Chain A
C-alpha cells in the first residue's frame, strides 16, 4: 500500500513549520513520528498534499524539569518516556502507559505529541495525561498558549488546537509527596488499542485517607472521561480495598460507550469498574511508598 502522492518539506524550526503550515493551509499536514498519520495515509483515509516534517526540528525531544513541572517535548518517542528516570520517579503512571502502547517497534518511533494531537479515542496517552492534569503547549505565529488537558480533547480525533497551531510540549505538574499514579489498560487482543483503560492520580494523607483523586477513563466515549463519581467517592475516605472498590464501581456512571463487534456498551462499562479499581489500587500502593 502506498499513500497518495504528496510533497515533502523538512522543517528546520517550529517557526518555519508554522510558516509552511500557513502557506499550505488545509493541504498541509504536520508529520511527527508518523505512526498514526502514515497508516492513515496508506489506507487513503488521509491524503494531505504536503507533509511538513517536525522530525527534523531540533529541541523538541526529551524530558526535563522546569520549575514545578515535568516537561516532555512533543517529539519524544514512547520508548524514551517509558524508560525515562524522571518519568519513572515522578509520574510512573505515565511510564505504565508509554510501555503498553502498540509494540516495541511502534514505541521506538511514535511520539507523545503525535499521539496527543491525533486524539485517537483508543490511544493511551490522552487518558493518563487527563489523570495527571497535564497541559498542552501549542505554538502559533502569535506565540504560545497553554491548554489544560480537560479542555484539550473535544471529540473523536478532535482537539482544541487551531489549524495554525503546532503542539510543542506536554507539561505535568510535579506531584506532591505521597502521590501515586498508575495506568491500567484492557487492550483489544488484535489491535492493542484501548478497549477500556483507567488512569489514576491519588494523593494520600498521612492518616491513610485520600486527599485528592483524579481518575480518567478511556474507551467509554469520544474523549477521555473524568470519573467524577469515583473521585468524589474517594475524597476524604480511608484508602481501603473496600472503599476503593466502592468508588471504582462508579467509574462508568453517566457514560454512553460506543458498541463495537468486540465489546458491547454494558460490557465496557463493567470492565471500566474493574480497570478503575486496578489503577487506583496501584496508585495507592505507590503513594504509600512515595
Chain B
C-alpha cells in the first residue's frame, strides 16, 4: 500500500531469551506482536490489548513491562525475556513450579503474565508478604477468579528460592 511505503521499516536489534535478533519492523509494530508473529514466541499472550490485564507481561532490561504498550522499536538494544526463556535446561523456574504445585491457574491464559510479574517481584523483594504480592499483581487480571492460589504459588516460589539460595 502506498500509505505504508511512506513510513519505512526501521531496524531493531534486540536480544530475546539470550538470542540476538536483527530485524526490520514497521514502526507501529507493538513488541507483543513482534514476539508472537515475527519470532513465533506465542507464550506471551494478548488479553485486553489496553495495558490493563498484564497477559502480555515480559521482562525488558530486567523489569516487568506490558509488551502491548511498547513499540518494538523502543526495545532496540534491549534484553527481553519471555515466558519461554524462564526454564533453564529443562528445569522450571521456581515461580513456574509454584504455579504447578499450588494450582495457580485454571484456564492458563493469564499465567505467563502472572509468572513474569511474580518473577520480577521476587527479584526485587525476595520475601514479600500477602499485601506486597497483591500490590505487585495489581496489573495482572485473572478472570477464573484464581487469585488466592496465585498468591500461594508466588509464596511457594519465594520459600523455595530462599531454601535453595
Contacts and interface: CB of A to CB of B under 8 A. Distances in A.
Nearest to A39: B51
B30 A108 contact: no
Contacts of B28: 2-6, 41
Interface stretch (A15-23, A99-107, A130-138, A146-154): A99-107
B50 interface: yes
Contacts of A41: 28
A92 interface: no
A105 B117 contact: yes
B64 interface: yes
A56 B65 CA distance: 18
Nearest to B5: A5
B10 A39 contact: no
Contact of B26 (A5, A104, A109): A5
B6 A7 contact: yes
Interface of B: 3-4, 6-8, 10, 26-28, 30, 49-52, 54, 57, 63-66, 69-71, 73-74, 76, 117, 120-121, 135-136, 138-140
Given A106-B139, A109-B65, A34 B4 contact: no
* SS class, residues of chain B in contact with chain A: mixed
A8 B117 contact: no
A192 interface: yes
Given A8-B27, A104-B120, A104-B121, A109 B70 contact: yes
A34 to B, nearest CB: 7
B138 A192 contact: yes
Given A35-B69, A105-B66, A105-B139, A5 B7 contact: yes
Contact of B139 (A5, A7, A56, A104): A104
Interface of A: 1-8, 10, 31, 34-35, 38-39, 41-43, 51, 53, 55-56, 79, 102-106, 108-109, 191-192
Contact of B74 (A4, A53, A103, A192): A53
A34 B69 contact: yes
A38 B76 contact: no
A39 B140 CA distance: 17
A104 B117 contact: yes
Contacts of A10: 73, 76
A191 B141 CA distance: 12
Given A55-B74, A79-B63, 15 more contacts: A1-B49, A1-B50, A5-B4, A5-B6, A6-B28, A34-B69, A38-B70, A39-B50, A51-B71, A53-B74, A104-B138, A105-B57, A105-B117, A105-B139, A191-B52
B63 A108 contact: yes
Nearest to B66: A105
26 contacts: A2-B30, A5-B4, A5-B7, A5-B26, A6-B27, A8-B7, A8-B71, A10-B73, A34-B71, A38-B70, A39-B50, A42-B50, A43-B50, A79-B63, A103-B140, A104-B136, A105-B51, A105-B54, A105-B57, A105-B65, A105-B117, A108-B64, A108-B65, A109-B63, A109-B70, A191-B52
A34 B73 CA distance: 12
A57 to B, nearest CB: 13
B3 A5 contact: yes
A42 B7 CA distance: 17
A2 B33 CA distance: 10
Nearest to B57: A105
Nearest to B54: A105
A105 B50 contact: no
Query: In this complex, which of B6, B57, B65, B117 has the most chain A Cβ atoms within 10 angstroms of its Cβ?
Result: B65
Contacts of B139: 102-106
B64 A105 contact: yes
The 8 closest A-B pairs by CB, nearest first: A103-B139, A8-B27, A108-B63, A103-B138, A7-B7, A105-B66, A3-B28, A105-B139
